[in-house]
């Protein structure tokens, strides 16, 4: 009985550990939360953990003000201070990173996160959400993954201002991206 119990307990521990090996890290600004929505979908379908990147000084609620500020910030590669993540990257072997597109680049808080993290030896998947102009986001994010195996990337388009929360990219394309993450979890 004792042996059976410890086997069950150990098995449980092993499963919890296996399920906790993938982490989704994302930043999302707009009130439709496009990047959050995709991050949560990945979390739900893969059993990954999830962590949100939060700037220490929150951005204004005024969208146009943020668009203006971000134009200047992005142009000079400004890295706003961010709060420490609520998890430790060292606990995960696979990291999924999601960002909105800001002026053809990754959002500034994601630049801070990626520039200050070590992804070497990890498996990484990258996605950006955008409104039709994804620029060089995926290329720029990939360049910050020195020593990592970037096994999947995806640009995901949503509508512009009036239809900001509506998905333009077809769901099967997103499903394929998530399937690559699931396949990676089995390798």
Ligand X SMILES: Cc1cc2nc3c(=O)[nH]c(=O)nc-3n(C[C@H](O)[C@H](O)[C@H](O)COP(=O)(O)O)c2cc1C
The verdict on 154 binding ligand X (CB under 6 A) reads no
Nearest to 181 by CA among 16, 51, 21: 21
Of 49-57, 63-71, 83-91, 110-118, the window that binds ligand X (rule: CB under 6 A) is: 63-71
**Binding residues for ligand X restricted to 101-120, rule: CB under 6 A:** 101-104
- Which residue in 132, 136, 163, 170 binds ligand X (CB under 6 A)? 132
Tokens of 63: 């969208």
Of 30-38, 117-125, 143-151, 168-176, the window that binds ligand X (rule: CB under 6 A) is: 30-38
For 60-92, letters b (16+ CB in 10 Å) and e give eeeeeebeebbeebbeeeebeebeeeeeebeeb
CB count within 10 Å of CB 97 equals 26
- Which residue in 22, 35, 46, 112 binds ligand X (CB under 6 A)? 35
Of 47-55, 89-97, 126-134, 143-151, the window that binds ligand X (rule: CB under 6 A) is: 126-134
CB of 162 to ligand X, least distance (A): 12
For 117, the 3-state DSSP assignment is coil
Tokens of 149: 């195996």
The verdict on 34 binding ligand X (CB under 6 A) reads yes
């Amino acid at each position: 009985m004792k042996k059976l119990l410890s086997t069950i307990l150990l098995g449980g521990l092993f499963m919890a550990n296996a399920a906790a090996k993938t982490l989704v890290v994302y930043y999302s600004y707009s009130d439709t939360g496009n990047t959050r929505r995709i991050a949560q979908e990945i979390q739900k379908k893969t059993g990954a953990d999830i962590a949100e990147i939060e700037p220490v000084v929150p951005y204004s609620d005024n969208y146009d003000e943020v668009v203006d500020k971000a134009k200047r910030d992005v142009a000079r590669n400004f890295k706003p201070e961010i709060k420490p993540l609520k998890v430790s990257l060292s606990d995960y072997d696979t990291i999924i990173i999601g960002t909105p597109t800001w002026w053809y680049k990754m959002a500034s808080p994601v630049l801070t996160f990626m520039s200050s993290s070590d992804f070497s030896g990890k498996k990484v998947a990258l996605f950006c959400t955008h409104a039709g102009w994804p620029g060089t986001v995926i290329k720029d994010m990939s360049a910050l993954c020195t020593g990592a195996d970037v096994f999947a990337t995806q640009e995901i388009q949503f509508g512009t201002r009036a239809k900001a929360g509506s998905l333009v990219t077809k769901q099967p394309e997103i499903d394929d991206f998530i399937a690559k993450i699931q396949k990676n979890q089995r390798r």
